[in-house]
Every structure is written in C-alpha cells, then in structure tokens.
Amino acid sequence: MGGYGFDLTYVFLVLLPGMVLSGLASMLVKSTFSKYETVGTTSNLTGAEAARMMLERAGVTNCRIEPIAGRLNDHYDPRVRTLRLSEPVHNERSISAIGVACHEAGHALQHATGYKFLQMRSMLVPVTNLASRMSMPVLMIGSLLMAMAPALGMPVIILGIVLFAAAVVFAIVTLPVEWDASARAKKAMMHAGIVNDEEAEGASKVLNAAFLTYLAAAITSLLTLLYYLHRSGLLRILLNSNRR
C-alpha cells in the first residue's frame, strides 16, 4: 500500500468534491445571512432578547447568554449552560440575528429536555478531539511501515482508520442535533410571536443554509473514510465478507 498523499483517487473522489461542497455551503450561508442581516422584524428584538424570550417561554431560566467577538461563530456550551452569540447576532435586530440566536437556544432546549443525540455528541467531543489529532500521524506512520514491514504496518493503519472513523461518527451525529435545534427554533419563534409568517420564512432560509455546512462536512468526512478504507484494502475485504 502506498502513502496517503494527493493521488488522483484522493483528488477526484475526496478533495475536489469536498472543496466544492464546503465552498458552496459556506457561500450560501454567508450570502443568506447577509441578505437578512439588514431586514428587521416587527418585534424589534435583538438576537439575545429573542433567545431569552424563547428560553423563558419554555421554562429554561438557568442558561446564560453572552456576546463573543467574531462572526458566525455562535454556539451553545452545555458544560456551563451558556449561549455564546457573536456580536452581529447578540446585538442586532434582524431576521438573521434572531434566526441564529433562536437556533442556539434550540440547543439549550435540547439540553434541558435530555435530547439523546445532543448527549451522544457531548460524550463524543473528548474522544473526537483526541482522535482527530492522532488519526493522520498514525496513518502516515502505518503507511511508512507498510513499505518496510506490512505485518506491522496494517494494524497501525487500521488503528488510524478507526481513529478517523470517530470523527466521522461525530459529524454524522451532529446532523440530527443541528436539524432538531433549527426545528425547535422555527416553531418557538412563531409561537412566541418573535417573527411573523413572512419573517419566519427568511429565518428558515438562514437556518437551512447553515445546516448545509454541517451536511457538507459530514459528506466530506465520509468520503475521506471510504478513501482510507479503499487504499488499505479493507473496503474490498468488507464488501467480500458481506457477499458471503
């Protein structure tokens, strides 16, 4: 087995599709956010105020909301029950700000109700962080060993693939977490009177565009895993075993 460099299989089956998917998703979320960033709502709430209203109506009163520097780096930290909203979201009174803030509040609602996929993702975080740092070095070492001692190299490559697979699992588990948070936000925004029907359509477009970035990341990770399985010969072994 050769190295894991930029061979043609990797370029055409993983690198280029991944770059195209990620690039398109990123462009879409930025353009959609910018489009509705200048459109206000009849409620005239800031993103932080909308998120607070959504949480309080659901009976969640133990969640802090705080601003952070940056743009489109909003997130919910379940370890300290805190919504961290970027300044364009925390302080602004736009459809984009409200949509993103309420999406993050959706994660807080997931936490409060014990949403299983959020719990699973939280448990995977430390494992994924370690596996992501180690997978490529282990694969490179395994690839070098294969050239000298295949009997030693293959177990190391398998270990590298297993480590990378942990990151793939995390990316896949993230999909229902993000989709559900947006679904909760869309419903709560309407029920709380944060947005009207027309404004809700714009907020939905912002949230749907953001979800595509997670979908693109998951697809790219899965393609990369399939490539590693193919290069190692494990994919052929797995396919043959399933045919028996």
Which residue of the set 104, 198, 199, 201 is catalytic? 104
Q: Which segments of the chain have a pLDDT < 50?
A: 1-6
**What is the structure's pLDDT at 244?**
60
User: Who contacts 49 (Cβ-Cβ below 8 Å, separation ≥6)?
Assistant: none
Q: Is 185 left (phi over 0), alpha (psi -120 to 50) or beta?
A: alpha
Q: Is 104 a catalytic residue?
A: yes
**What is the structure's pLDDT at 83?**
97
How large is the C-alpha radius of gyration of the chain?
21
User: Does pTM top 0.85 for this prediction?
Assistant: yes
**What is the structure's pLDDT at 104?**
97
**What is the structure's pLDDT at 1?**
46
Kindly report, residue by residue over 51-80, the tens digit of the pLDDT: 999 999 999 999 999 999 998 899 999 999
Kindly report, residue by residue over 186-197, the tens digit of the pLDDT: 999 999 999 999
- Residue identified by tokens 């959609």 is 32
**What is the structure's pLDDT at 13?**
75
